[in-house]
Structures are given as structure tokens and as C-alpha cells.
Amino acid sequence: MKNIAISLALILSALIGYTQPPPGPPPSKEAYEKMKAHKIAYITEKLDLTPEEAQVFWPVYNELETKLHELREANRPDRKKDPETMTDAEVEDMVNQRFEFRQKELDLEKEYHEKYKQVLPTKKVAVLYKAEQGFRRDLLKKLQEKQKGSENRPNGKRAQ
């Protein structure tokens, strides 16, 4: 049954909206898609989704991911400003915009928490949040290991 759910999740990966990429050079499209497929499989496994649950959960999850991506993209230009070159009023405005962004992000998450509870049992919703944290932690660990591996190469060049 888990294999069916994981297979379904991988198929649904094509429907996933893009989220904010990590800082640094953007990943290749293939690497990004691979990461997204891994995330779907990871969350599906941790939630132990039935095929029926997966069918109703993933569209809601993808909808939130898309909205968060759009919100982050709309906020992106403000992060490029250097506070050292700005007036105090401009810095204060930038900080207030950041608070507003974070509040909008929180409001979206609260809205979708209610939607998740309509398609999944409450305990699985809690497991979802834990699974997302676990996935981010694992991904960060893999990126750090990859970075350490590239630093140990002669001349600091990365393997290709």
C-alpha cells in the first residue's frame, strides 16, 4: 500500500508549485525536480497516506506551496537593499514590510492548517509539520555534506 502511495506521490510531483529556492546559485531544473519528488515521497511516507488521502491532500498542499512561492517572489526585491545605504525611515519601512510579509505567510499557513484538517485527520496534520521540518533538516544536512566534499577537493573545485 505504501508503494502505491509513494508512486502516486511521485506522479503528483509534476503538479507541485515552485517554492523559494535556497540562497546561492539556483539549482538546475533537474536537481529541483528531484528534490521536489524526494520531498513528496518523504512526506507521503511519514504521513502514511492512503491513496485516497493522497488524492485530496496533495492538491491542497500544492496550492499552499504555490501561494507561498508567489508571496516570497513578491517580497524578494526588498531583501536586496543594503540598510547601510538607506535612511533610518527607509530602514524602518523595510523592517515593517518584512513584518507584514511574515504575517501574510503566517496567515496563509493558518488558513491552510484548517484546509488540511478537512482532508486529513488532525494527527496526520501534526505529523505533516514534523515531516516538513525533518525534510528541511535532512536537506540542509545533505547540502552541508556536499559543500564540505567540494571544499576538500584540490583547488576547491567541485566535481561535475
Say how many domains are in the chain.
Answer: 1
Q: How confident is the model at residue 22 (pLDDT cuts 50, 70, 90)?
A: very low
Which of 155, 61, 38 has its CA nearest to residue 112? Answer: 61
Is residue 113 classed exposed, middle or buried when 0-12, 13-18 and 19+ CB atoms within 10 A define those classes? middle
pLDDT of res. 153: 60
93-119 pLDDT, tens digit per residue, is 989 999 999 999 999 999 999 999 999
Q: Is residue 134 over pLDDT 80?
A: yes
HSE at residue 3, side-chain half, CA atoms within 13 A, is 0
Q: ∠35-41-43 over CA atoms, to 5°?
A: 100
- Residues of the domain holding 90: 2-156
Q: Would the CA dihedral through 138, 142, 144, 145 be positive or negative?
A: positive
pLDDT above 60 (res 21): no
Given a cut of 60, is residue 11 above it in pLDDT? no
pLDDT of residue 13: 41
Report residue 27's pLDDT band, with 50, 70 and 90 as the boundaries.
low
* pLDDT surpasses 80 at 159: no
